[in-house]
């Protein structure tokens, strides 16, 4: 699917209803999600028939976008109940019910079976509100032993040493402006923006 068409499709999904500050829900916009998924495809990590895990899935934009790019199945893992319900609604609207499993789970607390996935995509909490809030997501990636693509704050310095100490290779391959909900921008009504970086993490 062409990037522009994918961006339109993903921008039409129902959004995450909460944008919870406590959960650090940074929803990814359709245009940015489409460009990122195109990059993941170009690396060869997202391919026809693969099984994708979207950790911190929110409304399901990344997992559903991966399906539109040719993935065979997707697991959407999300802690927030309202976000899970929106994700399920989006799955139904894309007529992908048989291809998607929506799992309500808190990584680090609830067991999640990721043993059958081929690639992980994650836009986790960045740890600005709760220190190390991203750690369960990073540890889940390490546990899979499959390539992963991560969107994180461009200011983060802990990703490369964490993965390289575990024998993984890490590549920071791009940056983009990332929209923040008003709740993160000093509680003004205007959405702020911050800088995000994209990482490719590959096991030994």
pLDDT tens across 126-175, in order?
Answer: 876 778 999 999 999 999 999 999 999 999 999 999 999 999 999 999 99
0.85 exceeded by the pTM?
yes
Rounded Cα–Cα distance for residues 30 and 125 (Å):
18
Burial class (CB within 10 angstroms; exposed 0-12, middle 13-18, buried 19+) of 104: middle
Q: What is the DSSP letter of 99?
A: G
Query: Do 39 and 175 meet the contact criterion of CB atoms below 8 Å apart?
Result: no
**CATH code (residue 78):** 3.40.50.150
Rounded Cα–Cα distance for residues 197 and 142 (Å):
19
pLDDT band at 188 (very low <50, low <70, confident <90, very high): very low
Q: In the block, which residue shows the tokens 């406590």?
A: 22
Structural domain total, the chain: 1
Q: In the block, which residue shows the tokens 């740890």?
A: 127
**85-142 pLDDT tens trace:** 999 999 999 999 999 999 999 999 999 999 999 999 999 998 767 789 999 999 999 9
| DSSP E strand boundaries for the chain | 51-55, 73-78, 100-104, 119-122, 148-153, 169-180, 192-202
**Residue 60 belongs to domain spanning:** 3-202
Summary mean pLDDT of the chain: 91
């Amino acid at each position: 699917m062409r990037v522009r068409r994918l961006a339109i499709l993903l921008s039409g999904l129902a959004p995450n209803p909460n944008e919870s500050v406590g959960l650090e829900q940074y929803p990814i916009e359709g245009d940015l999600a489409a460009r990122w998924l195109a990059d993941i495809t170009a690396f060869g990590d997202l391919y026809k028939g693969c099984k994708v895990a979207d950790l911190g899935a929110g409304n399901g934009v990344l997992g559903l976008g991966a399906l539109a790019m040719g993935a065979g199945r997707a697991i959407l893992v999300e802690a927030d109940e309202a976000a899970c319900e929106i994700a399920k609604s989006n799955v139904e609207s894309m007529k992908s019910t048989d291809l998607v499993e929506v799992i309500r789970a808190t990584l680090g607390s609830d067991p999640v079976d990721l043993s059958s996935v081929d690639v992980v995509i994650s836009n986790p909490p960045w740890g600005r509100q709760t220190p190390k809030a991203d750690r369960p997501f990073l540890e889940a990636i390490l546990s899979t032993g499959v390539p992963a693509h991560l969107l994180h704050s461009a200011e983060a310095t802990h990703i490369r040493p964490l993965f390289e100490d575990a024998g993984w290779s890490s590549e920071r391959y791009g940056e983009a402006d990332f929209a923040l909900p008003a709740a993160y921008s000093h509680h003004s009504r205007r959405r702020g923006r911050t800088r995000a970086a994209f990482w490719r993490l590959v096991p030994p």
